Structure 1
Amino acid sequence: MNIGLFGYGKMGKMIEQIAQDRGHTIVAKIDVGATDVPYKTIDVAIDFSTPDTAFKNITDCFENGVPVISGTTGWLSHYDKAIEICNAKKGAFIYASNFSLGVNIFFELNSHLAKMMSNLNQYKVSMEEIHHTQKLDAPSGTAITLAEGIIENSTYQNWQLNEAEEKEIPITSKREGMVSGTHTIAYQSAVDDIEIKHTAHNREGFALGAVIAAEWIHGKTGVFSMKDVLNLN
């Protein structure tokens, strides 16, 4: 498969290595300011660019008949418009806040636990996420997705960074050393605590998941998620 990389930072380089190890060819490395994109040679685009460039990268691919896998965060105010263009052009698209296979299983576990806990008012939920000091946004996109999974399956209505009101999920964000990503959800009561936790040992899981998603979407039409890729629906 011929892959075009939109964004050639640390994640782009890691995706390149994993894709090549799995027998694919990188036919384009599109970074900020690039104008000459060989769309006709690209089977699937993988976008880990920037919030300012992601929407244009993604929709230009749709306009040129190229399926897109995107893990860029910070552009989602334009997500609905991107989906509209994808459907109009009969394109194919997967967006995920985190492509790690383990994290996506963790998302499902989190939602299922939230359902089971929804009527047990004696338990209060909270979340902690820890990342490396170079990560500037807080909370992480993964933490927000986890919070949304709880909200969809319980009486919680919102999340807040640090202190939260009733019916809000408090999220604590820590930035330490070179931590790749640790997310913990805790349900605490006067008599006991229940916790689930995901710890990433490195960034390879994110890159591998993006390549697997690219392999899965090749030849398909529509808007999908990692639930589809992992057959979790």
Structure 2
Amino acid sequence: MKIALIGYGKMGQAIEEIAVAQGHEIVLKIGIENLGDFTVEAVAKADVAIEFTSPHSAVANIKKCFDAGVAVVCGSTGWLEQWDEVIAYCQEKQGAFLYASNFSIGVNLFFELNNYLAKIMAPHNDYDVSMEEIHHTQKKDAPSGTAITLAERVLEHIGRKKQWVNHISDNPAELEIISERIDPAPGTHKIKYHSEIDDIEIIHTAHNRKGFASGAVMAANFLNGKKGIYNMKQVLGL
């Protein structure tokens, strides 16, 4: 498989290492120092583009890949207010797109665990629920995309919570997400159910970027040759 890396920071370099070890070819690497090389013609050499950049550039990057007829695996977060626009453009171009707020296999299993726990905790009104997330200081968005995904699943099941907020809250209708930025933390997410009697917590802690990078390469393998819109649940068969 021929891969274009759109975003060549620490994550892009981790993806490159794993992809090359698996026998894939990196045909394009775009970082902050060579943005001029990111052309439709250049990215068209790839089978799949893996896009890990920033909220302000992700949508334009994704669209350019669709213009080139290249499938896109996207791990950038913070741009989802433009989700409908991107999906419509993908369909217009008859492209292939796979987005995940987190590509780690462990995190995606954690998503399922969180969903199940929220479902069984829903009737127990004596438990309040809150969240914490920790990332490195280069993380541009807060809360993280992973935290938002987790929070949305909680809100689906815990009807007494109406919205998430990214600050300490004493409003029982708000799901509190506390974000911390500490180097060199690659990512920790905690969901806590608290009552006067006891606490129930589930925690996922990433030790390095390898889990995210491995999942992104797995997603690219899955997407290669396909058309349409996909997610990590389909990649993992969950």
Q: Could you say which TM-score interval applies, normalised by the shorter chain?
A: over 0.9
1:206 partner letter: F
Please point out which of 158, 161, 176 is paired with 2:163: 158
| Deviation readout 1:119-165 (Å, 9 max, x if unpaired) | 11000001111222333432222111110110122202211122232
Given the superposition, is the C-alpha separation of residues 134 and 39 from structure 1 closer, same or farther in structure 2, using an over 3 Å criterion? closer
Q: State the TM-score, normalized to the length of structure 1.
A: 0.95
Comparing 109-118 with 31-40, greater Cα deviation is found at: 31-40
Aligned to 2:90: 86
Please point out which of 15, 36, 39 is paired with 1:33: 36
Aligned to 2:17: 17
2:202 partner letter: I
1:18 partner letter: I
Please point out which of 66, 71, 75 is paired with 1:62: 66
Could you tell me which runs of 5 or more consecutive residues in structure 2 were left unpaired when the two chains were aligned.
none
1:187 to 2:193 alignment: yes
Given the superposition, is the C-alpha separation of residues 41 and 134 from structure 1 closer, same or farther in structure 2, using an over 3 Å criterion? closer
Aligned counterparts of 1:162 and 1:45: Cα–Cα separation in 2: 35
Aligned counterparts of 2:139 and 2:222: Cα–Cα separation in 1: 29
Aligned to 2:138: 134
Partner of 1:41: helix, strand, or coil?
coil
Matches within 5 A, 1:173-184: 173-184=179-190
Partner of 2:20: helix, strand, or coil?
helix
Aligned counterparts of 1:67 and 1:185: Cα–Cα separation in 2: 34
The RMSD of aligned alpha carbons is: 1.4
Shift of 1:50: 2.5
1:117 partner letter: M
1:71 to 2:75 alignment: yes
Matches within 5 A, 1:105-120: 105-120=109-124
Partner of 2:36: helix, strand, or coil?
coil
Could you tell me which runs of 5 or more consecutive residues in structure 1 were left unpaired when the two chains were aligned.
none
Partner of 2:37: helix, strand, or coil?
coil
1:22 partner letter: Q
Checking the alignment, whether the CA contact within 8 Å between 2:130 and 2:177 is kept in structure 1 is yes
Shift of 1:4: 0.6
Q: Percent identity?
A: 55
1:168 to 2:171 alignment: no
Please point out which of 201, 209, 212 is paired with 2:218: 212
Shift of 1:35: 4.1
1:204 partner letter: K
Aligned counterparts of 1:81 and 1:179: Cα–Cα separation in 2: 33
Give the total of aligned pairs: 232
2:27 partner letter: V
2:167 partner letter: N
Aligned counterparts of 1:97 and 1:142: Cα–Cα separation in 2: 5
